[in-house]
Amino acid sequence: MTDVTPLISMTDIGKVYHADEVETHALSGVHFALERGEYVSITGPSGCGKSTLLSILGLLDVPSSGNYVLNGVAVGDIGVSERARIRNKEIGFIFQSFNLIGDLTVFENVELPLTYREDFRKAERREKVLEALEQVGMAHRLTHYPAQLSGGQQQRVAVARALVGSPSILLADEPTGNLDSRNGEAVMALLIELNNAGSTICMVTHDPRYADFAHRKVFMFDGRVVDEETLYRLRREEDSRLDAQIARVRDSMNR
């Protein structure tokens, strides 16, 4: 049976930060929905609220107002430990600065999220870790430490760590921000591959070139979602143009 509820549904999300008697409205009236299997990019100028939105999506932060339903569960007012449990199971994070732990090996870094889960035994953990590292092309570096890897390799390991627990969604915040363009493009290609293999991805970037890799682009400005360009629609139009062309060729052959 296919599940028809959206994976993510956010309505009227607001986020206000209070610091030194200054109120910052980081998000206002944000509506955001995401279907399973989608690859969405969120773009906008620095400070427009992209990371704030991603942190709330990933249950690292809580909204000040609005509703958030993840996988059919209203996660707005759940307790801290339940939040952590759901985050660990459902969310895979990829950060700009990789955030690998320096004194753990590649294998141990990727294994780490699984050690917090009761549903994986040691042998099964090993299998999952190897599988994830193979997916990102890093299975030949199991015993290396992060400092012994290039930035691009570190980010691939971080991607393996994000996907090892088979989360419902991968969230990436400026995943190419610390990489040169060659390594940046390699990470982008990897995300596309993972999406083709079924992963749902939401990526934040201020770089329009990288935003174009997603199926759907969401634009933010000043804490709001301001515009959305749907490549799905363009693709459907392209498909129907192609269909029309094929029909014309068939037609001419039959004459």
Binding site for Mg ion (CB under 5 A): 51
User: Nearest-CA neighbor of 14 among 70, 76, 60?
Assistant: 76
| Least gap, CB of 24 to ligand ADP (angstroms) | 4
Binding of ligand ADP at residue 203 (CB under 6 A)? Answer: no
Q: Which of 49, 55, 13, 59 is nearest to 32 (CA)?
A: 13
23 binds ligand ADP (CB under 6 A): no
Across the chain, how many H-helices and E-strands are there? 8, 10
Nearer to Mg ion (CB atom), residue 190 or residue 204: 204
- The residue among 14 and 177 lying less far from Mg ion, judged by its C-beta, is 177
Q: How far is the CB of 87 from ligand ADP (least distance, A)?
A: 18
Q: How far is CA 75 from CA 39, 43, 78, in A?
A: 22, 25, 6
To ligand ADP, the closest distance from the beta carbon of 49 in angstroms equals: 4
Q: Which backbone phi and psi does 38 adopt, to 5 degrees?
A: -75, 160
Parallel, antiparallel or unpaired: strands 65-70 and 8-19: antiparallel
Nearer to ligand ADP, 46 or 254 (CB): 46
Among 32, 38, 40, 50, interactor with ligand ADP by CB under 6 A: 50
Among 9, 28, 43, 52, indicate the residue that binds ligand ADP (CB under 6 A).
52
Residue 42 vs 132, nearer CB to ligand ADP: 42
Q: For residue 130, give the nearest of 104, 98, 108 by alpha carbon.
A: 108
